[in-house]
Structure 1
């Protein structure tokens, strides 16, 4: 990814992406609560933290920089997203963004929550 597109992606407000995720999973019969569970598992944000990230329109760079606790099992997320193997993405921030995309895709595809959460259950 060139520098211009990289900056465009990392400057996207989480508030602009979240409703797209809600719509995507909703079309497949999944709930906002399930989406929030997946995002909480990945980032450590609780429901209030996710709402704050939406309200203050922080960009993805700030969203991931401020994540309370990235899940150590996120390294188990594998597969293709946007034409890239998530496990081969070298830039840590872009990898985190693609992990999030991959988890949302798995949720929308109807995978079981234990599989999405790599065998764990979020609190």
Structure 2
């Protein structure tokens, strides 16, 4: 389970594979100086609800990974996440689709976060 930290105070746990794909989309948007909202649902263990942060160039972001291996990248998932980031509602996690070669994502690498927050 990795961690996304915004401005040093807003934190949420996100599975490493999901976090890697989010990082690709977020950094691509920031390289183009495109601000956007990023939303996720909080786990009931931290009170539930939903959190949205406004990400813009200059935002202090930390992507903390607990696994030592870089997961394989699913381009179809990156594109699906980028589509949400470009919509008025902003970036949010969508289920991982099959990659361009038709291979389904491994069950252990799904977008589900188990006991962590639901995005």
User: Which structure shows the higher helix fraction?
Assistant: 1
Q: TM-score, normalised on structure 2?
A: 0.30
Q: TM-score, normalised on structure 1?
A: 0.29
User: Which structure shows the higher strand fraction?
Assistant: 2
